[in-house]
Amino acid sequence: MHDIFVLAEHREGELREVTLEILTLAGQLAEQSGGKVTAVLLGSGIDEYAGKCASFADRVLVVDDPMYKDYNSAAYQQALVELIKAEKPHLVLIGNTGQGVDLAPSLAVELDVPYTSDVVSVTLEGDKPVATRQYYGGKIDGRIEFKDADVYVLAIREASTPAGEGGKSGEIQKIDNPVTTEVTVRKFLEYVEAAIGEVDITQSTMLVSVGRGIRDEKNMPIMEELAEAMGADLSASRAVVDAGWLPTDRQVGISGKTVSPKLYLAVGISGAFQHVTGIKGADVVVAINKDPDAPIFQYADYGIVDDLLKVVPALTEKIKEMKG
């Protein structure tokens, strides 16, 4: 009745960390509701992942079939619909990841149950989940309440609950593939790795990072000059890379690089979740932003609330002076 399904996510021979995070969250919710946590693992040759999931779950439901070797939304969705209809869990938790956002919304429609996405926290009020998520680039929180249903599907933001220690020993249950017909509407081909550029920002000890606040490509030289004066490498938010002002390999964040410099100087970057997950490893974070409410100030050690077009040239001068 109060059971929770968690879809395990794996890619290219690795169980993804988000799986253990969500299993941890599910464990906390189950403790409250008295339900059981089931990790659902679809894949091929996945015994190792099953073992890992078992230490975070009461049960691991394993469907081992070549059909699931690489993720395919069409196949995954069919399998999940069958499993959910048969087992009737109360909650289905999926990562709000590149995989999850491709799968969870259509799954919920096919099941005809409520869905919300990018959830940062969930509580149970009585029988029902209540979710908190962010709006307007993290400037506002919103509380989501659901209409009554037997099943609720939620996509959970990565890194919103730290993975616990595990320590359970859930039963591993292998079941037959519930999907008997081949899926043809969509076919996985291959993975293509991101290109590697001339500067590897994951190795940089100092990063000067530029965001959309720079406004125009013609302002980019002031950032280059600051980076040069500081002896730092130049990196960027996605907005700057999308605009073509810096190459893709300079992008910091969830779809770019995870960096761990001694100093990360974020200039004109708002601090979207997808960006700041990439700077968790930085020692000192400094932010320059005109907007005092920019979320980046929640992650920075020092901040300057001002126009970057004024501060950056002044800072470059001071640093040049200091270095003599």
Partner 1 sequence: MNVVVCVKQVPDTSDPDVEVHIDSSGKGVDESKFSFVINDADNYAVEEAILLKEKHEGEVTVVNIGPEAANQVVRMALAKGGDQAIRLDDERFAFSDITATARLLASAIGDLEFDIVMTGCIASDDGYSAVGVTLAQMLDLPHAAMVKSVEVIGDNKLKVGRELEGGLLEMLEIETPCVLTIQTGINEPRYASFKGIRAASKKEIKVMDLEATGLSEDQVGEAGSTAVMVEYSVPVVGELAEILEGDAAETSVKLSGILKEKGLV
Ligand X SMILES: Cc1cc2nc3c(=O)[nH]c(=O)nc-3n(C[C@H](O)[C@H](O)[C@H](O)COP(=O)(O)OP(=O)(O)OC[C@H]3O[C@@H](n4cnc5c(N)ncnc54)[C@H](O)[C@@H]3O)c2cc1C
Q: Map the footprint of partner 1 across residues 201-220, applying CB under 8 A.
A: 206, 212-213
Half-sphere exposure of 319 (CA within 13 A, CB side): 14
142 class by beta-carbon count within 10 Å (0-12 exposed, 13-18 middle, 19+ buried): exposed
Question: Can residue 114 be called a binding residue for ligand X (CB under 6 A)?
Answer: no
Q: Does 87 bind ligand X (CB under 6 A)?
A: no
Options 272, 279, 282, 300; binder of ligand X; rule CB under 6 A: 272
- Told to check if 235 binds ligand X by CB under 6 A, we report no
Rounded to the nearest 10°, the torsion over CA 218, 223, 229, 231 is -130
Using Cβ positions, the residue closest to ligand X within the complex turns out to be: 253
Helix (H, G, I), strand (E, B) or coil at 195: coil
- Which of ligand X, partner 1, none lies near 269, with the C-beta cut-off 5 to 8 A by kind? ligand X
248 touches, from ligand X, partner 1, none (C-beta below 5 to 8 Å by class): partner 1
The DSSP call for residue 139 is T
Does residue number 139 form part of the binding site for partner 1 (CB under 8 A)? yes
Binding residues for partner 1 restricted to 298-317, rule: CB under 8 A: 298-307, 310-311, 314-315, 317
Kindly tell me the sign of the dihedral angle through the C-alpha atoms of 131, 137, 141, 146: negative
- Binding residue (CB under 8 A) for partner 1 from 45, 66, 137, 281: 137
Q: Given the complex with partner 1, which of 145 and 171 has the nearer CB atom?
A: 145
Spatial distance between the Cα atoms of 161 and 74, rounded to a whole number of angstroms:
28
Give the whole-angstrom CA distance, residue 36 versus residue 57: 8
- 258 makes contact with ligand X (CB under 6 A): no
Quickly tell me which residue has 């907005």 as its tokens. 239
Separation CA 65–CA 175 (nearest Å): 10
Q: Least distance (Å) from ligand X to the CB of residue 46?
A: 26
User: Binding of ligand X at residue 16 (CB under 6 A)?
Assistant: no
- Paired residues of 148 in beta bridges: none
Binding site for ligand X (CB under 6 A): 137, 211-213, 237-239, 251-256, 268-270, 272, 274-275, 278, 289-291, 294, 307-309
